[in-house]
Chains A and B, each alone.
Chain A
Amino acid sequence: GAGVSQSPRYKVTKRGQDVALRCDPISGHVSLYWYRQALGQGPEFLTYFNYEAQQDKSGLPNDRFSAERPEGSISTLTIQRTEQRDSAMYRCASSLAYSGGGQDTQYFGPGTRLTVL
């Protein structure tokens, strides 16, 4: 079956521009997570949703970063007024449920590589 998909796979933008990154979770998955992964590092948590409700945004670096999941399925991570330090791989993951044994296993997408010039 289809896994988590993300688009675009690569995004190059100029400093100061806004970008929107899209995540399409596995169908029926309740929870959706956003991570950022720098080169040579593990993924770093940004925020997550259960259905359409944003449960935790403590990992968002600053108020230029926001995320939404209005219908409890597709999610968009938006970065306003991008800066060079925002360059990274942005990964999305989804899980069937949000608690309970293996049902909260997170399945990761291929990521969006963001480069800010």
Chain B
Amino acid sequence: GQQLNQSPQSMFIQEGEDVSMNCTSSSIFNTWLWYKQDPGEGPVLLIALYKAGELTSNGRLTAQFGITRKDSFLNISASIPSDVGIYFCAGRNYGGSQGNLIFGKGTKLSVKP
């Protein structure tokens, strides 16, 4: 089946630092999504990308839909403590089931001790 490779698996941030994470896929997607999950909560959509090459910002977040349709990255600028959580990328196929979002394993952001 399709696989999404998300990296890094975890990272520590210091307030003010920029953060970058990415996802790669073994096959093409026509939609890329980035979600954030806080403890005890469901994933919350941060950014949705619908077109190859698209670069979209949401406040301090910026995400891009790779030109090959097989990858996407998410950048967080000037991180703050509330950015801590788990970030998931998700993709939807061409011609696949409309509901079939495929998720990465997540990138866990923690505060640097």
Query: Is B98 part of the contact surface with A, judged by Cβ < 8 Å?
Result: yes
B-binding residues in A (CB < 8 A): 4, 31, 33, 35, 40-45, 47-48, 55-56, 58-59, 91, 93, 98-99, 101-102, 104-111
Could you tell me if B99 and A56 are in contact, using CB atoms closer than 8 angstroms? yes
Query: Is B74 part of the contact surface with A, judged by Cβ < 8 Å?
Result: no
- A-B pairs with beta carbons under 8 A, tally: 66
A111 to B84, CA, bound (A): 20
Residues A110 and B99 in contact in the complex (CB < 8 Å), given A42-B88, A42-B104: no
15 further contact pairs, Cβ within 8 A, besides A41-B106, A106-B101, A111-B42? A4-B42, A33-B99, A35-B101, A40-B105, A40-B106, A41-B105, A43-B43, A43-B88, A43-B103, A45-B97, A47-B99, A91-B42, A99-B98, A105-B45, A107-B45
A-binding residues in B (CB < 8 A): 4, 6, 35, 40-45, 48, 50, 88, 90, 97-106
A42 to B35, CA, bound (A): 10
A104 to B45, CA, bound (A): 12
Residues A106 and B45 in contact in the complex (CB < 8 Å), given A55-B98, A56-B97: yes
> Smallest Cβ distance from A32 to chain B, in angstroms?
9
Could you tell me if B100 and A56 are in contact, using CB atoms closer than 8 angstroms? yes
**Which residue of chain A has its CB nearest to the CB of B88?**
A42
A99 to B48, CA, bound (A): 14
Could you tell me if A44 and B103 are in contact, using CB atoms closer than 8 angstroms? yes
Could you tell me if A104 and B43 are in contact, using CB atoms closer than 8 angstroms? no
